[in-house]
Each structure stands twice: as C-alpha cells, then as structure tokens.
Amino acid sequence: MVPSDQEQDVPLSPEQLAEQLERFEGYKSEFAADIERLEARRLRLKEDLDEYAQLVDRVQKLITDGTNSFETRVEVGCDVTVAARVPDTRHIFVAVGLGFHVEASLAEVAALVEPRRRHLGGLIEDVEKKLNDARSCASAFDSSLHLLRTGGS
C-alpha cells in the first residue's frame, strides 16, 4: 500500500524543530541523572566491598600478631565515636546484612564474609555494565541531537 500525501513525512518547520529539540533536551538531563545515580550506587557498593576487605585484613593481622585485646574507636551513631577496649579478640561480631550480626571466631571471619564479597562484586559488575550502557546511550543521544541541530551537516 502506498502512503497518501497526508501520511508522508513532512519536514518540520524551524519552530517545530526547535520545540522538539527542547523537548529532547529534557531526556538528556534524565540520562545524566541516571548516570549520576548509577555512579553513586557503584561508589556505595565499592565502599562496602572495601570494608569487608579491611575486616578480613585486620582479622588476619590479629591472628598473625596473636593479639588478645586492643583499643579502638567505635561509632555509636550520628558520626559520634567513643573509645572502646576489646578485652577478648577470640570472637567478633560481623554484620551480615539487614541489621543482623553473627558471632564468629577469627578463623571463621574470612569464610563468613566471602559470599557477601562475591555478591557485592557481582553487583558492582552489574552496575558498571548498566553505567557503560547509560553512557553509550547518552553519547548516542548527544550525537543525534547534534545532527538534528546542525541539519545533518
């Protein structure tokens, strides 16, 4: 079936084109917001993963040094910290998520947090893939807008 004259593409007037470009600019800001949100999520996930790595390193140091007690600073909320003395380091409490903590011996800590570390690593990979996709889409969108503005030249 051959399209009628009314169904054929009709070039936009300069005013219509400017109006459409302005509308598309709103989508550009949505891409930027998505990219910013994904970058913030990736940063939070990496910070969590780093905390688990530090925990494993510190526990390994406690085992290697044979430390039985130590002094530290503990955050009690709202960025308030207090000095604390840990009299017995044979067992520690490890946050496992959703506000739950598990008491574990020093030797068990690495095995206890390893599934969480793998999970966080997988989440980081997923977020990085989404971030790369969002950046690619934003770049292609910018190129398309540029072509529309310049008339394809």
One-letter identity of residue 88: D
Tell which phi-psi region holds residue 82, choosing left (phi > 0), alpha (psi between -120 and 50) or beta.
beta
Q: What is the CATH number of the domain that holds 123?
A: 1.10.287.370
In a domain, 90, yes or no: yes
Mean pLDDT of the chain, nearest integer: 86
Q: Residue 92 pLDDT more than 90? A: no
60: its two tokens: 């390994």
User: DSSP assignment, residue 11?
Assistant: P
The parent domain of residue 39 ranges over 14-150
Q: Using the predicted structure, report yes or no on whether residue 152 has a pLDDT greater than 80.
A: no
In the numeric block, which tokens belong to residue 113?
């947090």
Q: Is 135 part of a structural domain of the chain?
A: yes
* Amino acid residing at 22: E
Q: How far is it, in rounded angstroms, from Cα 77 to Cα 81?
A: 8
Mean predicted confidence (pLDDT) in 60-82 = 86
Domain annotation covers residue 112? yes
Q: Is residue 7 part of a domain?
A: no
Counting the structural domains of the chain, the total is: 1
